[in-house]
Structure 1
């Protein structure tokens, strides 16, 4: 080895040591990941990367977290373009669960020769936004997930053994970083989740996974399930007492959890219950938040309300804080009470498109992207409003 090569090797080793130390810190302080990604680029001879957490349960995986960085800087437009237009056409995605764990693979080892000539991602998207000279590696995450790490080098340069060696050296440390972030995000989500807020609001709420299994339920929801005269839990699944109602409930929850289609239904009590009020069940799909490491897999939020007994949400504080119009404030409150867009439109005498326009404005003013986050913020602000 020449003196120049020895100096280069020593520099790489020193950089890798710094990255490993940084990954240990970033596991507890996620905001350090972006700057650390730039250090990884320096150590591995790359200029961009993508870190993905995906569901690892057969078939085409769902992205639960995704962050693309260019020299440590976020590239939101490129990220959005990929997720919205190209991810579904990326041949590599549906091969994720067949990639050997911990094996650094170049794009040319994943794609066939024919795909390397015609792939819209490999031939068009990647060269346009940087380079298709990438390596990909799959690692095992928590909660049945896969971690996919993609690193991009300059076009026209072969990956050296030193580069791939640097990536391999970092794999266990990157895996540890993601796993710790997943665990901490899940714990934080449980601690400060919508469940705690709804306990104070009086609404009954449950979170379901993609298979419709109950992940968590707050105290009012547990009381309704324990009563069992309208709805109950059997083998972690929500069931209705009436066979016909149970079949309808099954279809509603399946559409919400598996297809992202919300809806509502009324469930009447059976038996000798003293409380004869029907129960309104609202199923709200929860799209994955790709900016959070929380990959527990909450796919549906279920709100249960006795008809005629729904607690109203005080939106005066949120209206003042975010400069909402009276109509926006009312829509926000009704959403927080579990009403669907169509129900809000009917109650206000407006069209569904008008209500959706108001919801879009609410997302913009409150700085959120998902209806579940909007509800959480409204309830949190309402709960913090002092009684007059």
Structure 2
């Protein structure tokens, strides 16, 4: 079996004979308290090691993890740990049933002949994975979107020029990973990443608004979880971060918004007001109505537009304005 164990997840692949065994091992939570990997990595031995290189017989008999592995069909190991460029550790492990007896030192030395090839393969795989991240954010750059790929711990893996241009005023690459300079938005981003770490394959996306400040307009941070292909041990579970700077001067007209989503005139007006950046209190003042009225209208708008939050509705309107602007430019070019 091959696996990479990180703080985010354990990604692995195994031969058919050991797939069920390793799945049981992970489901029992044994990876979190695996003394074999811990001792093997700490040993820093450039080659394969057996259980008896790391433990005495008495230690093995007293170790709960070994007792569990013997009961589910394993019990003896021959493996090595390879450091890969992205900071992870690749573990190559061969499993043997306990009744077959321990692996021998000469078997380790025979497999050491293959270690340089395994290390080169791991290097190529991680470089290819990195290129995939860079290609993804580069494609978004071509669409005019500032984007980055981050791990679910917040570490920046790749970023395009548009995202770089927003650093360090709006986002930063801090010691602990991605930092959004607006405090409330930063807390929301970190909370989202924490939720996605616990359920990476089912987490939905999110849109987080960053209020305008002097010298900078309203921005919306879109978060989209991206899981690696099944059994791809080199692909970290990541999240795409796309930042859209909002042009509040080019929103679609109230008439267009009203027609697209079957809104009332009051609902169309309030959704345009919210999309410009003001909150509910400011929108209520502008419309000369109560905050309760604005909230009620917004509730109807969310239902009619199929969105769940104000930020999503604002993003929808800005997307419409972007489409209309591109269509206008294309028409103008064709006429010319």
When the two structures are superposed, what TM-score results if normalisation uses the length of structure 2?
0.57
In the other structure, the counterpart of 1:16 is none
Alignment of 1:116 onto 2:61: yes
Aligned with residue 214 of structure 1, among 149, 152, 156: 156
Which secondary structure does the structure 2 equivalent of 1:92 belong to? Answer: helix
Query: How many angstroms does 1:149 deviate by?
Result: 1.4
In the other structure, the counterpart of 1:164 is 108
Alignment of 1:198 onto 2:143: no
Alignment of 1:265 onto 2:221: no
Do 2:185 and 2:209's aligned partners in 1 also have CA atoms closer than 8 Å? no
Query: How many angstroms does 1:232 deviate by?
Result: 4.0
Q: Deviations over 1:219-271 (max 9, x none)?
A: 55455x1795xx2446685433xxxxx22233334344566467543211111
User: Equivalents in 1 of 2:14, 2:4: separation in Å?
Assistant: 12
Which secondary structure does the structure 2 equivalent of 1:282 belong to? Answer: strand
Do 2:210 and 2:219's aligned partners in 1 also have CA atoms closer than 8 Å? yes
Change (3 A) 1:212 1:98: same
User: Equivalents in 1 of 2:191, 2:3: separation in Å?
Assistant: 26
Aligned positions of 1:76-115 closer than 5 A: 77-86=20-29, 87-95=31-39, 97-110=41-54, 113=58
Change (3 A) 1:69 1:126: farther
Do 1:53 and 1:65's aligned partners in 2 also have CA atoms closer than 8 Å? yes
Structure 2: runs of 5 or more not aligned: 198-204, 252-298, 309-336
Q: Deviations over 1:12-51 (max 9, x none)?
A: xxxxxxxxxxxxxxxxxxxxxxxxxxxxxxxxxxxxxx11
User: Equivalents in 1 of 2:305, 2:60: separation in Å?
Assistant: 53
Larger Rg: 2
User: Equivalents in 1 of 2:106, 2:69: separation in Å?
Assistant: 27
Which secondary structure does the structure 1 equivalent of 2:242 belong to? Answer: strand
Change (3 A) 1:351 1:64: same
Do 1:266 and 1:280's aligned partners in 2 also have CA atoms closer than 8 Å? yes
Change (3 A) 1:205 1:64: farther
Alignment of 1:304 onto 2:206: no
User: Equivalents in 1 of 2:102, 2:108: separation in Å?
Assistant: 11
In the other structure, the counterpart of 2:77 is 134
Could you say what the CA RMSD is over the residues aligned between the two structures, in angstroms? Answer: 4.2
Aligned positions of 1:1-388 closer than 5 A: 50-55=1-6, 63=9, 65-70=11-16, 75=19, 77-86=20-29, 87-95=31-39, 97-110=41-54, 113=58, 116-117=61-62, 119=64, 121-128=65-72, 130-154=73-97, 155-191=99-135, 193=136, 195-199=137-141, 202-209=144-151, 212-218=154-160, 220-222=162-164, 225=166, 228=169, 231-233=170-172, 237-240=178-181, 246-257=182-193, 260=196, 264-273=207-216, 276=217, 278-286=218-226, 291-292=231-232, 294=234, 299-306=238-245, 347=303
When the two structures are superposed, what TM-score results if normalisation uses the length of structure 1?
0.50
Which secondary structure does the structure 2 equivalent of 1:139 belong to? Answer: strand
User: Equivalents in 1 of 2:190, 2:144: separation in Å?
Assistant: 26
Alignment: residue pair count:
246
Query: How many angstroms does 1:178 deviate by?
Result: 1.6
Structure 1: runs of 5 or more not aligned: 1-49, 56-60, 241-245, 312-342, 353-388
Query: How many angstroms does 1:183 deviate by?
Result: 1.9
Which secondary structure does the structure 1 equivalent of 2:15 belong to? Answer: strand
Query: How many angstroms does 1:166 deviate by?
Result: 1.3
Do 2:13 and 2:232's aligned partners in 1 also have CA atoms closer than 8 Å? no
